Each structure stands twice: as C-alpha cells, then as structure tokens.
C-alpha cells in the first residue's frame, strides 16, 4: 500500500506501510482486532510519537498469526508467550517488520497492574471497538473510555492529562 501524502507527523511512512500489511493479514484471516496503546490515543486525538504498534486479538488467534508472520521474509517473530512486567500480564506475540515493532496481545485474559501491585482484568471487548481513519485505512480502535480506564489503573499521569482533554 502506498504511503498517503497527508500522513500525520506522529507515524512514519514505514510504520504506516507495516501497519497496513499486518492489518490486511489479520483481516484476511477473519481475526477480530483493535488498535490499542499509544497509536489508539493518537487515533483519538493525541500526538505521541509512535514507538511500537499495539494490537489486541483473541488469544486463540495468536499462534496462527505467529505461524503466518514467520513465513514473511524479513519478519522477526517472538512468541506467543505469557508476558509479565510491573504493568501488564497477558499473552503476547511480538513481531518486527521492516524495522517496525508490533505487540499483539491476547484480549481474553489480559491483566493490568496498578502502581501498588493490584491486578485488574482488562475485560477487552473487541466487538466494542470504534472505527478511526488513518490514511487509506479504516482501523478498529480501542474506545477512548477504555483507553482512559486502563491508563488510570496504570497511574500514567502524563498519558492521562493528554487523553482526558479528549474525553
């Protein structure tokens, strides 16, 4: 897919092209998905630099997606495996395509941790995603209210200040 001339500054042409390829593959497999993380914030009106692209899919689709992406020349694939850090616990497939990093998370049992260590299930509902345009793409995106909910749980004050002005 060619890069549109009016691409926002916060996403690079390489990120856009890689995103278009990955979304086409996911949709081609009839796997429900949604954009989450910083890119979702930008699609709702923020202007953060996109460092990686976060997507949510059903957990049982991760293995098939990994198998597909492993056939792509030049793609680096890790997982899927259970990921845990101070903020999240979830099934995760990591891919790098043309230098662009993707974190593809299983939506079914994702957990967020508060700064105090409390665990909260995210209860991701892929059917509730909203459509947002990006160039020629019509992307399924985590609703702003849900993005705010998990950012509040994480306690990310800088993220919240930016997102709450959009709500």
Domains of the chain: 13-164 (3.30.460.40)
Which among 41, 56, 16, 54 is positioned nearest to 166, based on CA atoms? 41
Write out pLDDT tens, residues 65-116. 999 999 999 999 999 999 998 888 999 999 999 999 999 999 998 888 877 8
Angle at which helix 13-28 crosses helix 62-70, to 10 degrees, equals 120
Token pair 């665990």: residue: 119
What's the mean pLDDT in 120-148?
A: 92
Question: What pLDDT shows up at residue 155?
Answer: 72
pLDDT band at 150 (very low <50, low <70, confident <90, very high): confident
Token pair, residue 144, equals 């702003």
Note whether 97 and 53 are within 8 A (CB).
no
Question: What pLDDT shows up at residue 61?
Answer: 98
The phi, psi pair for 136, rounded to 5°, reads -85, 0
Q: Please say if the pLDDT value at position 167 is more than 60.
A: no
**DSSP three-state, residue 69:** helix
Residue with more model confidence, 49 or 4 = 49
pLDDT band at 162 (very low <50, low <70, confident <90, very high): low
pLDDT band at 119 (very low <50, low <70, confident <90, very high): confident
Residue-averaged pLDDT of the chain: 89
């Amino acid at each position: 897919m060619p890069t549109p001339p009016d691409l926002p500054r916060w996403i690079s042409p390489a990120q856009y092209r890689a995103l278009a390829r990955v979304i086409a593959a996911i949709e081609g497999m009839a796997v429900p998905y949604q954009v989450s993380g910083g890119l979702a914030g930008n699609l709702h009106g923020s202007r953060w630099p996109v460092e990686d692209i976060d997507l949510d899919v059903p957990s049982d689709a991760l293995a098939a997606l990994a198998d597909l992406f492993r056939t792509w020349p030049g793609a680096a694939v890790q997982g899927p495996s259970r990921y845990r850090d101070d903020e999240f616990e979830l099934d995760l497939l990591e891919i790098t395509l043309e230098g662009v990093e993707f974190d593809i998370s299983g939506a079914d049992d994702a957990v967020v941790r508060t700064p105090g260590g409390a665990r909260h299930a995210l209860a991701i509902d892929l059917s509730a995603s909203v459509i947002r345009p990006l160039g020629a793409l019509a992307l399924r995106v985590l609703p702003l209210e849900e993005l705010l909910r998990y950012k509040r749980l994480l306690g990310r004050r800088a993220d919240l200040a930016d997102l709450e002005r959009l709500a």
